[in-house]
Structure 1
Amino acid sequence: MRPAAGTMHAGRPGGAAVYWVGLALCVLFGGELGAVAAGIADTSVPLIVISANLAPWTAMLGFALLLAGRRRRQEAVAGPVRTEAAMARIESSRAVGEGPEIPLQLDLTVAPTGRSAYRAHATAVVNLMDLEDYRAGRTVVVDHDPERPWDVRVRRRSGAEFAGRIALAKIDTAPVETRRSAPARTREAGGIRLGLLAALAGALLSLVPFHGFYG
């Protein structure tokens, strides 16, 4: 059985720009907190009101962009994703939302050509009319990365290449012990710490024009 040709997907561009914009916003957030403190010390009501209202929005946007930028930079370092098509057996299917387009949480046995089958989780968004095709025991076509086997994406259309093979496929359930999961990520915690340090720097710097902290 000839394995399907793999496809290459480059990482999303713009990670560095998003990262630096997020870091700058974290500094600005710290400056707004410093401005609030300075306004309290100087009894400046307008400064307190303006800074206190802007700070939460700046913080949310800054940390979100900072974490997204770090994630994209990590993906760029890891290199492009190489995906291969494979058939998979649905072990369980659970709806996690409602509507005509229903999100499903799937437990799969992925059976790559020429390699051992393994278990993995995946999500899929399917039309209500196609829900029967995603019940337990059915076979679907997925794209997976051999270097990151936990990264499994279910195809909405199997394609002509797999149409006949799906009907004849007999995939045995892989043991739970073979489940592949993404490694624990620590970069989010590192990004939050960096953002907090940037906010602290911004707060200290803001005291110079607003309160003359350094005399």
Structure 2
Amino acid sequence: MFWVGLLLCALVGVELGGIVAGIMSTDTATGVVLTVVGANLAPWTAMGGFVLLYRGRRRASQVKQAPPRLEPAMARIESSRAVGEGPDIPLDLDLTVAPAGVPAYRAGATAVVNLMDLDDFRVGRTVVVDHDPLRPWDVRVRIRPDGEWAGRLAAAGIDTAPPESRRAEPPRPAGSGGRTGTARIGMAAIAVGAVLSLVPFHGYY
């Protein structure tokens, strides 16, 4: 879908080149045909090209964003800050996550905790989390872990990981997605098509 859209945008450039060639042609009949045909085709070709480009990029982005593969781990609470009020209190947590078999690292997480359970989320306490090994910044706190993991909490001893081990989601490059990025790619393809149009229409200039 993406490549078809790219080809259609390049074709728009060729059609625009045909319009210019028709205007500049010394052969009136041929010039009228090139101008009329190009002017009628270009808007529809451009519309189809940009739609296919956008849908193609969106589908590719959805494929890349595979569902997280969450695995349980123990984590130490390094800081805990309430960011709301009520019987269910939202907390911003700074954690040392200690997955089995790999070095511990720092990561942020959020949790909504009932007032009665707030003592379990003080600094220095150990909690059970689910983390994605491919996206280590994706950490989700288990408010009430099941019996197997709950039994490990009392015996768990986790050392604080250094701040430089923090994992955070990498920023997306500016203009890398959405309508703006699609428009730039489409306009670049149109420009390439316009340059290529000099080959079939060079005799009309």
Structure 2 stretches lacking a partner, 5+ long: 1-53, 185-205
Q: Deviations over 1:127-179 (max 9, x none)?
A: 11111111100010000000100000001111111122100111000000100
Q: Which residue of 1 aligns with 2:145?
A: 158
* CA gap 1:141/1:195 in 2 versus in 1, 3 angstroms: same
Give the alignment of 1:85-124 within 5 angstroms: 85-124=72-111
In 2, the alpha carbon distance for the partners of 1:83 and 1:75 equals 18
In the superposition, the TM-score normalised over structure 2's length comes to 0.57
Does residue 172 of the first structure (1) align with residue 159 of the second (2)?
A: yes
In 2, the alpha carbon distance for the partners of 1:139 and 1:188 equals 41
Q: Deviations over 1:55-112 (max 9, x none)?
A: xxxxxxxxxxx9xx95x86343232311100000000000111111111000000000
Structural RMSD (CA): 2.4
In 2, the alpha carbon distance for the partners of 1:105 and 1:73 equals 32
* CA gap 1:109/1:188 in 2 versus in 1, 3 angstroms: farther
Within the candidate set 114, 117, 120, 1:127 is matched to 114
Q: Which residue of 1 aligns with 2:168?
A: 181
Residues matched between the structures, number = 129
Q: Deviations over 1:24-51 (max 9, x none)?
A: xxxxxxxxxxxxxxxxxxxxxxxxxxxx
In 1, the alpha carbon distance for the partners of 2:132 and 2:62 equals 13
Larger Rg: 2
AA at the equivalent of 1:145: D
> Would you say the 8 A contact 2:89–2:112 is kept in 1?
yes
In the superposition, the TM-score normalised over structure 1's length comes to 0.54
In 2, the alpha carbon distance for the partners of 1:116 and 1:196 equals 43
Query: Which secondary structure state, in structure 2, belongs to the residue aligned with residue 126 of structure 1?
Result: strand
- The percentage of aligned residue pairs carrying the same residue is 65
* CA gap 1:164/1:188 in 2 versus in 1, 3 angstroms: farther
AA at the equivalent of 2:133: P
Q: Which residue of 1 aligns with 2:133?
A: 146
* CA gap 1:190/1:117 in 2 versus in 1, 3 angstroms: same
In 2, the alpha carbon distance for the partners of 1:132 and 1:156 equals 12
* CA gap 1:152/1:196 in 2 versus in 1, 3 angstroms: same
